[in-house]
Amino acid sequence: MAWKTIDRNEPVVDAGATPVLTEAIRGKIESFFPRYPTKRAVLLPALHVIQDALGFIGWQAMKEVADLLEIHPSAVFDTISFYTHFWTKPRGEKVVTVCRSISCELLGGREVLEAVKDHLGIGEHETTGDGKYSIAVEECLAGCDHGPCLLVNERMHKCVKAADVPALLADAGNADHGLPRSDLFDGPVVDDDRDDGVIASTSDVVEMQDSN
């Protein structure tokens, strides 16, 4: 063929591989079943559980959760790719989230994004080889009057210029915000306080748990 066609028929999941969803993860997902009319409806909480436990949801995990919920793996892929919140590859220690909405775009947001990509040598929703940084792109970060904006984890950086990017990324404290950690932040946390095998959770999962 005269032009390049991507072959999507190549399997990405090895049928014989050891499962990535542990018993604890499965148990937790199953505990949501009684609350929803169908197993399919448990997909979103299940994805949160998996991402909390594993840091990301790879092909193998997608396939396994599909089997667990008795839905087609394509439905899982569909949902995961809709939400930028979910990662399909390991996420770095710090996530640089660049705004791509209109104010920032008009003020040079695109150049900032390019600078971040160039500097880290990775693309959107990718992670550097050393596991330090990942890049995400989001719609409006609610700092439109001070664009272009970007987040390093939860720390907002405003009026960022492309030329500032190397220094900004080199700064070890670029994610410090001097505020107590938000409940809503869901970095790949390891819950050291719990020894009962229960998986650490995002705030919404905790909330769901508590209301149980």
Partner 1 sequence: MAKITIDNQEIECRDGIPVLQAALEAGWDVPHYCYHPGLSVVASCRLCLMEMQLPHPKTREMGWAPKLFPSCQTPVKDGMVVRFDSGAVEQNQKACMEYFLLNHPLDCPVCDQAGECHLQDYSYKFGESESRMHDQKQVNPKKDIGPQTLLYSDRCVMCTRCVRFAEEVSGTEELCIVNRGGRAEIDIFPGIPLDNPMQGNVVDVCPVGALLDKDFLFKKRVWFLESGDSVCPGCSTGCAIRVDQSDNRVQRLKPRYNPGVNEWWMCDEGRFGWKYVHDVERVTRPRLRRGAEMETPAWESLGEIVRYRFEQQVDRHGAAKVAVLLSPMMACEEAWLLAKFVRELAPDATIATGFVPMVGEERCFPVGCNADDAKFVIRREKCPNGRGVELVAEHFGGSTCDFDGFVTKAGEGAFEAVWVVGGYSEEWVPKALATSLAKIEMLVVQDMFESALTGEAELVLPACAWVERDGSFVNHAGLIQPFERAINVPDGARRDGQYLFGLAGFEGLYSGARVRALMAEEMDAFREIAEAPRQPAHQH
Residue choice 22, 38, 67, 78 for contact with partner 1 (CB under 8 A): 78
Rounded to a whole number of angstroms, the minimum distance from the CB of residue 141 to ligand FES is: 4
Residue 156 interacts with partner 1 (CB under 8 A): yes or no: no
Residue choice 31, 60, 103, 128 for contact with ligand FES (CB under 6 A): 103
Residue 35, SS3 per DSSP: helix
**Partner interacting with residue 104 (select from ligand FES, partner 1, none; CB below 5-8 Å by kind):** ligand FES
Residue 144 interacts with ligand FES (CB under 6 A): yes or no: yes
List b or e across 63-98, with b for residues whose CB sees 16 or more CB atoms inside 10 angstroms.
bbbbebbebebeebbebbeeeeebbbeebbebbbbb
| Interface characters, 32-61, with partner 1 (x: CB under 8 A) | ---------------------------x--
Q: Which segment (13-21, 70-78, 100-108, 192-200) binds ligand FES by CB under 6 A?
A: 100-108
**Partner interacting with residue 82 (select from partner 1, ligand FES, none; CB below 5-8 Å by kind):** partner 1
CB of 59 closer than 8 Å to CB of 92: no
Instruction: Return d(Cα 199, Cα 197) in angstroms, integer.
Output: 6
CB of 101 closer than 8 Å to CB of 148: no
Residue 3 interacts with partner 1 (CB under 8 A): yes or no: yes
- Nearest CA to 40 among 86, 83, 75? 75
CB of 53 closer than 8 Å to CB of 26: no
**Burial environment of residue 25 by CB neighbours within 10 A (0 to 12, 13 to 18, 19 or more):** buried
Rounded to a whole number of angstroms, the minimum distance from the CB of residue 99 to ligand FES is: 3
Binding site residues, ligand FES, CB under 6 A: 99, 101-104, 140-144, 147, 149
